[in-house]
Each structure stands twice: as structure tokens, then as C-alpha cells.
């Protein structure tokens, strides 16, 4: 991964304009034959990655022991650690509620950022809320407090507070990170080998989000620490580690406070986007909602927003593009239902298997480990190979492949659960469960990374946090569906539950591909920028 030493870009206006013109026309073989490569990533983005690393370390570090904390009773002599003893159905429901609230609150964080505070200040406020929730969790997870009945109330209060902080960070950290790369035009560059290539901003953003998600999964390895502390010491100490991590990451984040590229809040940006959409509905299409068309038809005086200086043809096109990406997101809850099984039901499934000293919630770490290996493989070997041979691995195909991997993972879990029921108790080795986690990891590299990329590249500049939040909101919707599945998320229904989830993911993936297959080439951020222009 190349990292730029300064937050600047190559200032080659002539080349940039020339290549941009050729991109627009697509009629000159000279440019069509050149290989496209990603640019270097800005160094300042690394400080933003640190706060995401700390937040994900914290989130996954506290989520790892959560199923055991709620599910199992407190028994110092048992191999399975526990505290509240509420059973698998309640544990799964509360875990899904936590995930639902954490990702639903991204909408709140996005509105605060885009309309009032800006992304940087919104992240700082969210970190403060996050730390407060962790203090509640640590103080109520000691044996003295949860045996005296304070554990459940403290847990719910902590979930609500931490979830609000999570939403504020998640909605804003990805667009803030991507905004540190300021080049928006392709640039012609000659490599040391003499080869002429096009430095492509689209590929650079794709690379940035890939390494962003790589950092996320480094943080997601925190359960390797917390579940072992939970198993061999206590829950309160397991939760203290994430608290320390988030405090340290905020300190690092503050180091770049005077260097970040900060897009100011636009005040009425969200309302203006809604008004623009309303005009498009009334005029029967976004093309008819453009101010140039409204003036031709004599309809411009009907809509107060049409008189605003910011209301241009390019602005209407950008709002349209943002809504197009949201259409894709309608299918994502079916994917995230599969993804969500890693954090609750698969942990309980491992508890029914022969552990041989392995904590039942340890195998979930195979997911981030696989991603930490798979993402560099894609970025450094697979994608360059495809680009070299002019193979367009477009966003629609990437997302479809991710759906298929997730579906296969759930079918594997379904078959495994069938054999668990047929076999004597705790007779199947727990590591046979590993393929489920690895397959989900492969799916994330295609679905989540591409979704984040589209949420940024297809969003209007002043609505990036909101569109990003709508992407994360699909996880909240999936968590709500999983809460409804609570009654079948227990014996003896688990075979049917895993099977139904896997089949629904497969059908949703096929439906997604059928809907977007024909227009998949239009999801290029590079082509959209040329067509829609800037404002």
C-alpha cells in the first residue's frame, strides 16, 4: 500500500483535463489503451484510521463476550463463563438489539454532522458518549453488581449509550477519511519503467476503502484478548480493555485536528435533498427537476428551492446519483442477516460442540483474520491482475459474489447443525465450524467494502454522512429481522433457521444481480462525475 507523505495531489492541470476529456468522449484509442492505477493515499488519513481502529477494537472487544455474558449463568466452576443466565433466545435478542441500535443511530450521527457540527466535531462528541457507556458497562459487570441484580439494567443502559456513540462515529469516519483524498480528475503519469498510466481517483477511493476495512478487521481481532480474559478472569476486566483502547484512539485522532480536510455542515442540506426529490416526483423525473428544464417549461416559480443559487443541474444530478445507490442498499439487509449470525447463533452453536479447551466465542476471530489476509491479496495481486488484462470487475458483480459466499456459509452451518443434532452431545470438533466464518469473511470483502465505496462516490458532497448512514442502516434492519427470528434461534429449530437464512441470501443476491446487471457499467464513479459535473 502506497502512502503519500503530504496531503497534496499532483498538480498537472493539462494532463488531468486532457484525460478527463478522453474519459468523457471514450473515442480516442490512445487513452482507452492505457492502464489505470490507484494513486497514493494521503498520510493524514492514517490518523482517522486510528480512531476507527480504536472504535472497532472497542465494539468487537465488548461484543465478543456479550453472548456468554447474557446467555450463561454465573458459575465459577463451569467451562462456559457467564453472568446473567438469561438463555440463548434472550442473549440473541439483546445482541441483535445492540447491533440494531448501534447502526440505526448512524442516521442521528449523520444528520448532526451534515446539518450542524461537521464530521470532525460529530466524531469527537460521539467518542465522549461512547466512553460514558463503557464506564457504565465496566462498573456493572463485576460479580458483586450482577449477582445483586444490577447487571441487566446496567447492560441495557450501556448498550443504548454505546450504540449512540457507535452510530455517531460510523456515519462520519468513512466519509471524513475519504475526503482527505482531494484529487477528483484522472492524471496521466509515466512510471519509472516508461509505461504511461492513468492515475484514477476512482481506483484510489476503492483502495482507500479496502485498507479502511482492513484496519476495521485489525480492530475486530480484539475478542482474541477479551474472550480469553472473560474465560480466565472476569467480564469487567474484559470490558476495561476496550475502554482504554477508545480513550487512546481519541488522543491520536486529536493530533490531526488542524490538518484534516473538513467539509463544513451545510445547514439545510438534508431538507434541500428532500425538497429536490419532491420536485422530481412532482415533475415525473429528476431530468425534469433540473432548473434548466424547469425554466423551459415555466415551472421554476412553482418551487422555492429552484431559486436558490445552489440548485443547479449538477446538484440535481448528484441527488439523483445518491438515491440510485440507496436502491442498491434495499437488498443489503438479506446479506446482513447472514453476516449477523457470526455474533450470536454461531457462538451458541460452537458451545454445542467439542471445545477441547477452545473458548466457544473464539472462532469468530477467524473472520477478521481471513479478511486481514484476503484484502491485501485483492488489492495487491487480484485487482491489479484484472486491470492489467482489462477485466472489469464492476461493483454489481462484486456485490453479487459476496451474497453467494454468505449464502454458502449459512448452508454449511445448516448442514453442520443437522449433524450436531444427530451426533452424541459435544462430539463434533469445534474447528469444523471454521468454514462458516471464512466464507463470511470472503463475502465482506465484496459486499461491505463495495457498499462503502458506493455510499461515498455516489453521494452529493454535502450528504456523504447521510448516504453512508443509510448503508449502515441496512445492518440495523437486518438486526431487527433477526430479533423477529428469536423464537426459532434456539433448539430444535436451528437447522431450519440457518437453511432459511442461507436460501434468502441466495435469492436476494440473484434478484440484486437481475435488477442491476444491465446498468452495472454505469456505477463507475469516474463516468458519473464527468456526466453530472460538479457544483
Are 464 and 477 members of one domain? yes
Are 129 and 246 members of one domain? yes
- Locate 239 and state its grid cell: 470490558
Exposure string over 453-490, b if 16+ CB within 10 A, otherwise e: bbbbbbbbebbbbbbbbbbbbbbbbbbbbbbebbeebb
Are 180 and 288 members of one domain? no
Mean pLDDT by 10 residues, the chain (535 residues): 43 38 46 78 87 91 88 81 85 86 91 88 95 95 86 93 94 90 83 82 88 92 88 90 94 91 76 83 87 83 80 83 84 95 86 86 88 94 88 90 97 96 91 96 95 85 82 90 85 92 96 84 44 29
H runs (alpha helix) in 26-118: 29-32, 45-63, 66-71, 88-104, 106-112
Are 105 and 155 members of one domain? yes
Are 297 and 334 members of one domain? no
Q: Note the pLDDT of residue 148.
A: 84
CA 516 distance to own-chain centroid: 21
What does DSSP assign to residue 376? H
- Neighbouring C-beta atoms of residue 325, cutoff 10 Å: 21
Are 87 and 65 members of one domain? yes
Domain of residue 180 covers 35-265+314-532
Structural domain contains residue 200: yes
User: What is the total count of domains within the chain?
Assistant: 2
Within 13 Å, how many C-alpha atoms sit on residue 295's CB side?
A: 8
Are 223 and 208 members of one domain? yes
Are 513 and 459 members of one domain? yes
* Domain-ending residue, one of 292, 311, 330: 311
Q: Are strands 196-199 and 35-37 parallel, antiparallel or unpaired?
A: parallel
- Locate 143 and state its grid cell: 460479580
Are 377 and 274 members of one domain? no
Q: Note the pLDDT of residue 191.
A: 79
Q: Specify the CATH number for the domain of residue 338.
A: 1.20.1250.20
Q: Note the pLDDT of residue 534.
A: 31
Q: For residue 410, what are the contacts with CB-CB under 8 A and spacing of at least 6?
A: 338, 341, 436, 498, 499, 501, 502, 505
Structural domain contains residue 29: no
Are 43 and 78 members of one domain? yes
Structural domain contains residue 14: no
Q: Which among 225, 182, 181, 206 is positioned nearest to 57, based on CA atoms?
A: 225
Structural domain contains residue 2: no
Integer CA distances (angstroms), 280 to 206, 273, 454, in order? 31, 11, 22
* Domain-ending residue, one of 257, 288, 311: 311
Structural domain contains residue 488: yes
Length of the chain: 535
Are 301 and 441 members of one domain? no
Are 202 and 292 members of one domain? no
Structural domain contains residue 16: no
Amino acid at each position: 500500500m502506497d502512502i503519500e507523505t503530504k496531503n497534496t495531489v499532483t498538480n498537472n492541470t493539462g494532463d488531468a483535463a486532457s484525460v478527463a476529456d478522453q474519459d468523457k468522449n471514450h473515442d480516442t484509442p490512445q487513452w482507452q489503451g492505457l492502464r489505470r492505477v490507484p494513486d497514493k493515499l494521503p498520510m493524514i488519513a492514517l490518523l482517522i484510521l486510528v480512531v476507527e481502529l480504536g472504535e472497532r477494537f472497542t465494539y468487537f472487544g465488548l461484543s465478543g463476550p456479550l453472548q456468554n455474558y447474557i446467555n450463561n449463568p454465573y458459575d465459577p466452576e463451569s467451562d462456559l463463563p457467564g453472568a446473567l443466565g438469561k438463555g440463548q433466545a434472550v442473549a440473541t435478542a439483546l445482541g441483535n438489539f445492540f447491533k440494531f441500535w448501534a447502526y440505526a443511530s448512524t442516521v442521528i450521527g449523520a444528520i448532526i454532522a451534515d446539518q450542524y457540527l461537521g464530521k470532525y466535531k460529530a466524531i469527537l462528541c460521539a467518542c465522549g458518549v461512547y466512553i460514558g457507556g463503557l464506564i457504565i458497562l465496566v462498573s456493572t459487570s463485576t460479580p458483586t453488581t450482577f449477582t445483586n441484580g444490577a447487571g441487566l439494567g446496567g447492560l441495557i443502559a450501556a448498550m443504548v449509550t454505546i450504540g449512540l456513540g457507535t452510530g455517531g462515529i460510523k456515519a462520519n469516519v468513512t466519509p471524513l477519511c475519504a475526503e482527505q483524498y482531494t484529487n477528483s480528475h484522472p492524471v496521466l503519469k509515466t512510471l519509472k519503467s516508461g509505461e504511461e498510466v492513468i492515475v484514477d481517483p476512482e481506483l484510489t477511493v476503492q483502495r482507500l476503502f479496502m485498507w479502511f476495512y482492513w484496519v476495521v478487521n485489525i480492530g475486530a481481532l480484539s475478542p482474541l484478548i477479551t474472550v480469553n480474559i472473560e474465560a480466565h478472569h472476569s467480564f469487567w476486566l474484559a470490558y476495561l480493555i476496550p475502554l482504554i483502547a477508545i480513550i487512546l484512539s481519541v488522543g491520536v485522532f486529536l493530533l490531526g485536528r488542524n490538518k484534516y480536510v473538513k467539509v463544513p455542515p451545510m445547514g439545510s442540506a438534508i431538507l434541500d435533498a428532500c425538497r429536490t426529490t419532491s420536485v422530481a416526483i412532482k415533475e415525473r423525473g429528476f431530468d425534469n427537476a433540473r432548473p434548466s428544464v424547469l425554466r423551459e417549461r415555466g415551472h421554476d416559480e412553482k418551487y422555492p428551492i429552484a431559486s436558490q443559487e445552489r440548485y443547479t443541474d449538477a446538484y440535481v444530478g448528484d441527488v439523483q446519483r445518491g438515491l440510485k445507490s440507496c436502491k442498491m442498499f434495499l437488498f443489503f439487509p438479506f446479506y446482513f442477516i447472514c453476516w449477523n449470525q457470526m455474533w450470536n447463533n454461531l457462538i451458541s452453536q460452537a458451545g454445542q460442540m467439542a471445545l477441547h479447551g477452545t473458548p466457544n466465542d473464539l472462532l469468530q476471530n477467524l473472520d477478521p483474520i481471513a479478511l486481514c489476509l484476503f484484502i491485501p491479496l485483492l488489492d495487491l495481486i487480484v485487482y491489479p491482475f484484472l486491470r492489467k488484462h482489462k477485466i472489469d470487475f464492476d461493483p454489481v458483480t462484486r456485490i453479487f459474489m459476496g451474497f453467494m459466499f454468505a449464502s454458502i456459509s449459512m448452508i454449511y452451518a445448516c448442514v453442520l447443525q443437522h449433524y450436531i443434532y444427530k451426533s452424541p452431545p459435544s462430539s463434533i470438533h469445534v474447528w469444523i465450524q471454521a468454514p462458516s466464518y471464512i466464507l463470511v469473511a470472503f463475502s465482506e470483502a465484496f459486499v461491505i467494502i463495495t457498499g462503502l465505496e458506493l455510499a461515498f462516490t455516489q453521494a452529493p458532497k454535502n450528504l456523504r454522512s447521510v448516504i453512508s448512514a443509510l448503508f449502515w442502516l441496512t445492518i440495523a434492519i437486518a438486526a431487527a429481522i433477526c430479533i423477529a427470528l428469536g423464537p426459532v434461534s434456539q433448539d430444535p429449530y436451528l437447522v431450519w433457521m440457518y437453511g432459511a437464512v442461507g436460501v434468502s441470501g441466495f435469492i436476494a443476491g440473484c434478484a440484486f444481480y437481475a435488477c442491476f446487471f444491465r446498468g452495472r457499467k454505469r456505477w463507475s464513479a469516474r463516468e458519473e462525475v464527468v456526466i453530472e459535473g460538479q457544483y
